[in-house]
Amino acid sequence: MSRAYAWWQREIIYQIYPRSFQDSNGDGVGDLRGILSRVDYLTSLNVGAIWLSPIYPSPMHDFGYDVADYCAIDPRFGTMADFNELLVEIHRRGMRLIVDLVPNHTSDEHPWFVESRRDGDNAKSDWYIWRDPAPGGGLPNNWLSHFGGPAWTFDERRGQYYMHQFARQQPELNHRNPEVFEALLEVMRFWLDRGVDGFRVDVISLLLKDPLFRDEPPNPAWDGVRQYASLRHIHTGNLPEVHGLIRRMRALLDSRDARMMVGEVYLPNAELMRFYGGPEAPECHLPFNFQLISTPWQAGEVRAKVDAYEAALPPGAWPNWVLGNHDQHRLATRVGLAQARVATMLLLTLRGTPTCYYGDEIGLRDVALPPECWRDPVAINQPQIAHLLGRDPERTPMQWDSSANAGFAAAGVLPWLPVAGDHRTVNVAAESADPQSILSFFRALTALRRTEPALSVGAYRSIDAGTDDVFAYLRSDGGRCLLVALNFADEQTKPVLPEWLGRRGELVLSTRNGRSPTVGLDRLELAANEGILVRLPVADAGTRRRLSP
């Protein structure tokens, strides 16, 4: 009997940054009804799950990641009725909905923090991380914020410092207090009862901090650019005890049918794999694998990362791949427009669950913004390195058509971030009408992935291609085997494939047009920036054994 796979193993996850997807009410900010108006578009992408970045009430100091109420909808995005309708329509089309969960910190306007900061003797006084000034005054220790400066802000009313690893308006919850974590589980139950299919859990590895509040050691590899990187953060993240909390979250999800969670974890393989847990104590269904985002875009480098990750996976763990999100420069900006299709083919043909970021399917690029248009606190707080760390360039509005504001908002409306200047040609309408566009290629590849088990759930095996410019690998399921060959170079190359692959294959898909339907594997030529997907003939059981990873 063949193995049964869960929906989150078979499907593609598509991330929507709600502020930037579709404005429906003329305020320049995307909203739930805007997303609802585009559900048919989402269906056309052949994706299986929609992940929404935060839509909770928030003062928007970090654009929703400073949550003021975990169990409501921010009026900027709509109402709970709008959310319910969107959930119904997504489910009606056979897709799933994943919502962001932000358990590490709240807004300083959350009622929990308002009560906690009142004094040191109230019911929630230790729901957050408070510390007295150091002897003689000053900061409790040397901990730093991701957003620049110290991780401590002094509160005059309490006469103590509170901790925040992000904006000062994002105080950190004290999950060593069992009441706090139980409140978080109640939040999860609230959204599960509403029918959501899973959670993307923000900074899941940071939930606990060193109870002794020891200084963090210097980072000898610091390049002198980003202050946060000047320390090794061994006391503010990835503490062993955090896994006990994650296991409790997983137990709650396992008590419901077909629910899942994705954990945001930026860690190397040896530590990342711990967030899967084990057979008797499972944790994240998918700890996010961000490694390819920072890997040099060279075939050998990428192959090495993929093979090392596959080899590190614990038994039964399911892989996943990410090439873009709301915190990283756009895919087409990082690898270039010429390689964007190759990167898309890589993402959608590796073994495991891919996560796609809105707009990457049409080739959106970062938008260069002048300082007066910056909204991201990372850029505003650290202007000298805003070009490196600012996240506004990858959060600009989705480009739907060539009209004013790219169809994101009505003409005359000022979008919350400027629309890219290329929107008259790079947009959904134009690319939908062009069978050679990157959007048409994306749809063809996602449709194929949905119908071809070798791609959606099949085994993986990399193979030597005789050149440093090509990454080649096999995907196989039963008697079906596909070859993926990706040319990372901007010139034609002739890979030398193993003879046991055979002499001929059937072209399934190429990143460019005009290829013959029969591919000669013994004399293969790949055009510059070309990726191909080839079906291999499997004549007998012996051949199948040799082709299978």
Catalytic residue among 82, 264, 360, 366: 264
Token representation of residue 202: 């923000």
Rounded CA-CA distance 169/67 in Å is 10
Backbone φ/ψ region at 132: left (φ over 0), alpha (ψ -120 to 50), beta: beta
* CA–CA dist 382, 226 (Å, integer): 9
What is the distance between the alpha carbons of residues 120 and 444, in angstroms, rounded to a whole number? 60
DSSP 501: G
Give the list of residues 6+ apart from residue 71 with CB closer than 8 angstroms, or none. 187, 190, 191
What are the start-end ranges of the E strands in 304-452?
320-322, 353-357
* Other C-beta atoms lying within 10 Å of the C-beta of residue 54: 25
**What are the Cα distances from residue 291, in Å, to 94, 160, 267, 288, 322?**
30, 39, 9, 9, 8
Among candidates 23, 3, 19, which has minimal Cα distance to 58?
19
Please give the helix or strand (H or E) that residue 306 lies within, else none. Answer: helix 299-312
d(CA 511, CA 531): 5
- Distance from C-alpha of 501 to C-alpha of 507, rounded to nearest angstrom: 14
Residue 15 tokens, joined = 């991330």
Q: Is 264 considered catalytic here?
A: yes
- With a CB cutoff of 8 Å and minimum separation 6, the contacts of 299 are 465, 467, 468, 469, 470, 471, 486, 487, 488, 489
Q: How far apart are CA 443 and CA 201, in angstroms?
A: 28
The residues, any chain, with a CB within 8 Å of residue 354's CB and separated by 6 or more, are 12, 13, 320, 321, 322, 347, 348
Q: Which amino acid is at 471?
A: F
Which of these, 488, 485, 512, lies nearest to 496 by C-alpha position?
Answer: 485
**Which of 82, 100, 197, 202 is an active site residue?**
202
Query: Whole-angstrom Cα distance, residue 350 to residue 57?
Result: 37
- Give the three-state DSSP class for 180: helix
| DSSP for residue 206 | G
Here the tokens at position 229 are 């990187």
The set of residues, in sequence order, having a beta carbon less than 8 Å from that of 434 and lying 6+ positions away, is 440
Catalytic residue positions, numbered: 202, 264
